[in-house]
Amino acid sequence: MSETILSLNDLYSYTGEKIINWKGHKNISVLSEIAAYSGYFAVQSQVKPSKLFTNASNVYIDSYNMLYKGDEIVTIIIPGLRDKFKAKKELLVSERNLFLDMLDCEIPTFKNIFEYKSLEDEEGEIPLFQLIGDITPYDIISIELSQLIETINKKNPLIFLIESINLKIQIDYSESDFYDFESKYLIKEVKFI
């Protein structure tokens, strides 16, 4: 089994509904800036969910600040994961057909929305990111938020096994990844009521 070790702080995540296929913007443009502006104010007003992403380590901090209930799904985008599937020749026929359909999708990248002119004055302590490209099932791993919190509370790495391509993904983190810049506090444990 091959192994990939990543840092939680280097990954992007979305918490809420499970992501399977999301189409992002094809490029950075006036339309992507308008969408980022709208998404930012949706996050601020908490009226509707936005399709903005955070740094994956912020999920723990946001959970401490009770922005999540604990029953949400955390989707973590793994750079290069699609390439690992592409290199694996022995995918099941049904999975191979689905994968071939996904090859035309753009590789996901992320833009900090506060780099847009219309949002540069809004920048806070926590960056928010907009999807450029597409997310497919071959770019992500998902975990229940409560399981992610429990694993981090126990100081264990996050480990995911993808048996279809014989891959173990280990996501490490350091204590400093959970420093809350808004409250100036290091989060050491999250408890759900």
> DSSP for 70-137?
S--EEEEE-TTHHHHHHH-----HHHHHHHHHHTTSPPPEEEEGGGSGGGGGG--SS--EEEESEE-T
Q: Taking Cα atoms as reference points, which of 67, 64, 65 lies closest to residue 15?
A: 67
| Residue 63 lies inside a defined structural domain of this protein | yes
State percent of the chain over pLDDT 70.
Answer: 91
Give how many domains the chain has, as a whole number.
1
| Residue 130 lies inside a defined structural domain of this protein | yes
Exposure string of 56-85, with b = 16+ CB inside 10 Å and e = fewer, is bbbbbbbbbeeebebebbbbbbbeebbebb
Query: 């420093």: which residue's tokens?
Result: 179
Query: 């280097």: which residue's tokens?
Result: 10
Provide the whole-model pTM. 0.87
| Residue 191 lies inside a defined structural domain of this protein | no
Give the pLDDT score at 184. Answer: 86
Instruction: Print the domain residue range for 133.
Output: 2-186
Give the pLDDT score at 90. Answer: 66
| Residue 160 lies inside a defined structural domain of this protein | yes
- Written as six digits, the tokens of 165 are 């391509």
| Residue 192 lies inside a defined structural domain of this protein | no
| Residue 146 lies inside a defined structural domain of this protein | yes
| DSSP-derived secondary structure for 5-21 | EEEGGG-EEEEESPPS-
| Residue 193 lies inside a defined structural domain of this protein | no
| Residue 35 lies inside a defined structural domain of this protein | yes
Q: How far apart are CA 173 and CA 159, in angstroms?
A: 12
Give the pLDDT score at 62. Answer: 83
pLDDT < 50 stretches in the chain:
none
